[in-house]
Amino acid sequence: MSERILIGKVGLDGHDRGVKVVARILRDAGFEVIYTGLFQTPATMAAAAVDEDVDLVGLSMLSGAHMTLAPLVVQELRARGSQVPVVVGGIIPEPHIARLHDAGIAAVLTPGAPAHEVVATIRRVLDAAAAPA
């Protein structure tokens, strides 16, 4: 059985070309991908992740709201009892990456990441989440 990944756009960012490319990259790599679409809230992403019993949540963020919205997705997931990792992709300034990790984001992908890096990052995060504590 392949791992299930939920991908979506949180907030008012209406640019979806990149997230659709990432969804295809992950599907081609053998993952089952569920795309929630545009204009999701942290609560709707977390609810969908729990309902769909996913192994990872991927957020595409180009609006600059990543420091607010991405941690809220993590909080909503944890409030629902889910420990699935969250990966953020998009325009993330270098100084924000460590702060996102501190807020519970498992990995950050920036623009221009090649397909093999996207797949390797997702695989690494999934493997780390599955490893015994």
On the 0-12 / 13-18 / 19+ scale of CB atoms within 10 A, 29 is middle
pLDDT digits (tens, 9 = 90+) for 55-100: 999 999 988 889 999 999 999 999 999 999 999 999 999 999 999 9
CB-based contacts of 53, cutoff 8 Å, min separation 6:
4
Whole-structure pTM value: 0.96
User: What pLDDT was estimated at residue 1?
Assistant: 55
- The CATH architecture assigned to 6-49+65-92+103-130 reads 3-Layer(aba) Sandwich (3.40)
CA dist 10 and 38 (Å) reads 7
Cα separations in angstroms, 42 against 7, 47, 130, 132: 12, 9, 24, 28
Alpha-carbon gap, residue 66 to 11, rounded angstroms: 9
| Mean pLDDT of all residues belonging to the chain | 95
Q: How many whole angstroms separate alpha carbon 65 and alpha carbon 83?
A: 23
Cα 52 → chain centroid: 14
